[in-house]
Amino acid sequence: MVESSGGGPAAGKVSESGAATTDWVWQAGPRRYGRVFLTFVRNSLVRAMGFRTNFWLECISSSCWTLMNLFFFKIVFSYTDSIGRDTGWGENEFFVFLGTTWIITSLIQTFIMPNAQEFSELIRTGQLDFALLKPIDTQFLVSFPQIVWSNLANLALGVVLVVYAVVRLVTTSEVPLVVGPVQVGLYLFFIGCGLAILYGVMIAMAATSIWLGRNQTLYTFWFYLTNFYRQPMEIYQQGWVGWTLWGLFTFLVPILLVVNVPARILAEPLRPAVDSWTWVLAGMALTAAIVVLSGSRWVFQAALASYRSASS
């Protein structure tokens, strides 16, 4: 979020007639970003409260869907002890993975997805005009205004599942898991990296509607993507089809790193220590987060330069 300075007269200056052009001093500081975001939070809450029944129905239906997901894997683990041979993804390790998926998906659906979709709509209808007029970073302004609070229900479920599975791993595992502040810190940090990757992919895809005119496949595409990142990456490491998908979703569209890295760091499927491969993946996740974020920024700016606005 770089403030543009220079290229024009200083702000808040005195006009030719001698009268102050404004009655206060304009500071293009980063502090207002926090304030604006809090206003988004507040306005979204006020709106959610305005449709209370809808809010609770959404909470319940998405929680039910998520719990059915859990029961499905409960059934899977009644047939097998782990996902793949010698991968270390036993039931509890996998539930850490599953809980992490819920947490990340829920955060994306609460904060990112509604805005990415709305962004496409803003472009199509020409409402993006208003975002471009405001003296604040446009990418920030279109990325966060809508927050769908009901989607946070799954975040709570995810946290509960992760805590439950970690406690089981610490107390009942043959090789007990050791969890301290470092592990938790790294776990949260790489969840952040995962969110950054997904945010970058989504916003860049949404920005392409400036050239394509219409981009209603965004939501469908999101489902394709989530289908791939919901599983430990080991399941792809078999046969040429599997390895191709693995390569594609690790290097080209690095969504396999999103859940795998934090889940591996916390659950340590190959205990007693985090294996070196996990650290390689972690390095890749961090790099991917930086590359995808800056790439999406570039796509966004390029798209805005070609914005032609819809008819009045």
Partner 1 sequence: MPLIEIEKLSKHYQVYQKQEGLWASVRGLFRREYRQVTALDAIDLQVEKGEFVAFLGPNGAGKTTTLKLLSGVIHPTSGSCRVMGYVPWERSNHYRRRFALVMGQKNQLWWDLPAQESFRLHQHIYQIPTDVFQSTRDELVDLLGLAKLLRQPVRELSLGERMKMELTAALLHRPEILFLDEPTIGLDVVAQHNIQQFLKHYQQTRAITILLTSHYMKDIEALCQRVVIINEGRIQFDGSLAGIVDRFHQERIVSLRLADSTSMDELAAYGRITKLQAPQVQLRIPRAEVPTSLAEILNRFPVEDVSVSDPPLEEIFAHLFSSGHSGGGGNSPREALELGATELRSSGPRDAETESRRGLLREVRR
Residue numbers of the site for partner 1 (CB under 8 A)? 3-5, 7-11, 15-17, 21-24, 26-28, 32, 35-36, 39-40, 42-43, 46-47, 50, 125-127, 129-130, 132-136, 138, 141, 305-309, 311-312
Q: How far apart are CA 37 and CA 127, in angstroms?
A: 20
Among residues 214, 46, 59, the alpha carbon closest in space to that of 146 is found at: 46
Whole-number minimum distance, CB 205 to partner 1, in Å?
Answer: 21
Whole-number minimum distance, CB 60 to partner 1, in Å?
Answer: 22
Whole-number minimum distance, CB 9 to partner 1, in Å?
Answer: 5
Residue 11 or 182 having the CB closest to partner 1: 11
Whole-number minimum distance, CB 289 to partner 1, in Å?
Answer: 27
Q: Residue 17 carries which side chain, given as an amino acid letter?
A: S
Residue 34 or 239 having the CB closest to partner 1: 34
Q: Is the distance from CB of 234 to CB of 84 less than 8 angstroms?
A: yes
Q: Residue 52 carries which side chain, given as an amino acid letter?
A: R
Q: How far apart are CA 211 and CA 205, in angstroms?
A: 11
Among residues 105, 97, 101, the alpha carbon closest in space to that of 264 is found at: 97
Residue 244 or 309 having the CB closest to partner 1: 309
Residue 49 or 184 having the CB closest to partner 1: 49
Whole-number minimum distance, CB 41 to partner 1, in Å?
Answer: 11
Whole-number minimum distance, CB 109 to partner 1, in Å?
Answer: 19
Residue 252 or 305 having the CB closest to partner 1: 305
Residue 80 or 125 having the CB closest to partner 1: 125
Strand partners, 20: 14
Q: How far apart are CA 43 and CA 61, in angstroms?
A: 24
User: Can you list the pairs that 179-187 forms with residues at least 24 positions away whose Cβ atoms lie under 8 Å?
Assistant: 179/266, 183/265, 183/266, 184/266, 186/262, 186/265, 186/266, 186/282, 187/262, 187/265, 187/266
Distance of CA 135 to the CA centre of its chain: 26
Residue 4 or 220 having the CB closest to partner 1: 4
Whole-number minimum distance, CB 57 to partner 1, in Å?
Answer: 17
